[in-house]
Amino acid sequence: MIILVLLIATALAFDFTNGFHDTGNAMATSIATGALKPKTAVLLAGVLNLVGAFLSVEVAVTVTTSVLKVQDSKTGHLIPSITPSTGLTIIFAGLIGGILWNLLTWLFGIPSSSSHALFGGLIGAGLAALGTAGVNWSGVTSKVIVPAVAAPVIACLVAACGTWLVYRITRSVMAKRREEGFRWGQIATASLVALSHGTNDAQKTMGVIALALITTGHLTGDVKKDGLPFWIIFSCALAIGLGTYIGGWRVIRTLGKGLVEIESPQGLAAEASSAAIILSSSAAGMALSTTHVATGSILGSGVGKPGAEVRWAVAGRMAVAWLVTLPAAALMGALAFWLSHGVESLTGSDLAGDGLIFVILCALSFYIWWRAQKQKVDSNNVNADWDSSTNSVVPADVREASKEAKPTAAV
């Protein structure tokens, strides 16, 4: 029972990290151009994510069946060869892998896919628990890898077309009016992206929690038909809303300032492209990573405007991080599983194993957060000039200040 509570807390923590990691997808462009003040933007995004999470009525028990082969496809229950204890540990380890990767990439201000982090963690834990038979490889290919490659390309194309059209059409409009008009448009499109993010991403955590509850027998009946208990929906919606409101300023900064120096028309085209693609893909049943789409769109808006500056070095660094996400999160998930399983075999206590990895998660999370505070990026300096010499997410003056405080080099 305690393990279940710890697991649910960890799942909500993942949802929280998912929230702040993805705030930038909707709001970075609006914050960068001044269409919205930073605090207003994250408040708006937080509320819309909360609303969006409630709007989705489809049950997301499929999120774990997409990548793992641990459930009966009809009932969603664990297959007989897996004990509930192992099942819970797999989920637990998967979440831990996802959270740690999310935190690491946040520290470096790298926009990366929370979906992939979670999938990676689960795949790693599944591999550690069951070997290659535990992973749904065709699901991984069709639902994770193919969309991951297609999404940024589609987004880049669409945003580039939109940006080019928009600049061409309005070239005769007074600059002031253009800025103002597009700022309003930015608010509308950014809100759409935040809403669609809420409908998409909270589902992942709901699915994971549902699986855990099915495993322990707390959730019976046909979840597909009856829907999920309200408290699961409510807590996941709240977690993602709060996370969004906290605002991953480091990621927002990279998206808004690091990749492309953005003007209002580009911001509008980028968010419109993101919104259209996210919504149409979920309607088509092909779940794309909102981060991949948003980043592709922002890059496209840089490509589409003649004379815009695109920092391909930053984009390249991000692409590497994306490639590494699945394996890295998988590795962490596998390590977490082995550690917990090892302790469980030694002591015979499930709680010792899962409790240990939970404590390690808390410790590592705190450490990463603490490192971030030493070179803080928040709503005050999120729009500071980008340091092109280092391409570090930390503004140059904050870097200097922290170097003076401590002789050793920080992150």
Partner 1 sequence: MTYLESIFKVLVVGLLLGAGLPAIFAVGMVAYSKGAGGQNDDGTMQAPNPALKYLGILLFLFVAWVIVTAVAWITRATLIHHFGFDPFPFIKS
Q: Minimum Å distance from CB 139 to partner 1?
A: 13
Q: Minimum Å distance from CB 174 to partner 1?
A: 6
Stretch that binds partner 1, among 74-82, 184-192, 371-379, 394-402 (CB under 8 A): 184-192
Contacts for 281 with CB less than 8 Å, ≥ 6 apart: 147, 151, 287, 288, 293
Q: Minimum Å distance from CB 240 to partner 1?
A: 17
Give residues 95-154 in contact with partner 1 (rule: CB under 8 A). 142, 146, 150, 154
Angle made by CA atoms 364, 208, 121, in degrees to the nearest 5: 45
Please report whether residue 59 would count as binding partner 1 according to CB under 8 A: no
Q: According to CB under 8 A, which one of 43, 107, 246, 279 is a site residue for partner 1?
A: 279
Q: According to CB under 8 A, which one of 95, 155, 211, 238 is a site residue for partner 1?
A: 155
161: left (phi over 0), alpha (psi -120 to 50) or beta: alpha
Give residues 197-216 in contact with partner 1 (rule: CB under 8 A). 199
State the sign of the Cα–Cα–Cα–Cα dihedral 214, 219, 224, 227: negative
Give residues 295-314 in contact with partner 1 (rule: CB under 8 A). 297
Q: Minimum Å distance from CB 311 to partner 1?
A: 23
What are the helix and strand counts (H, E) for the chain? 16, 0
Please report whether residue 268 would count as binding partner 1 according to CB under 8 A: yes
Please report whether residue 196 would count as binding partner 1 according to CB under 8 A: yes
Q: Beta-carbon neighbour count of residue 248 at 10 Å?
A: 27
3-state per-residue secondary structure call for 123-183: HHHHHHHHHHHHECHHHHHHHHHHHHHHHHHHHHHHHHHHHHHHHHHCCCCCHHHHHHHHH
Strand partners, 135: 68
Site string for partner 1, 317-356 (x = CB under 8 A): ----------------------------------------
> Do 91 and 122 form a contact (C-beta atoms < 8 A)?
yes
Query: Is the Cβ of residue 233 or residue 331 nearer to partner 1 in the bound state?
Result: 233
Give the binding site for partner 1 (CB under 8 A). Answer: 55-58, 142, 146, 150, 154-155, 157-159, 161-162, 165-166, 169-170, 172-175, 177-178, 181-182, 185, 188, 192, 195-196, 199, 265, 268-269, 272-277, 279-286, 288, 297
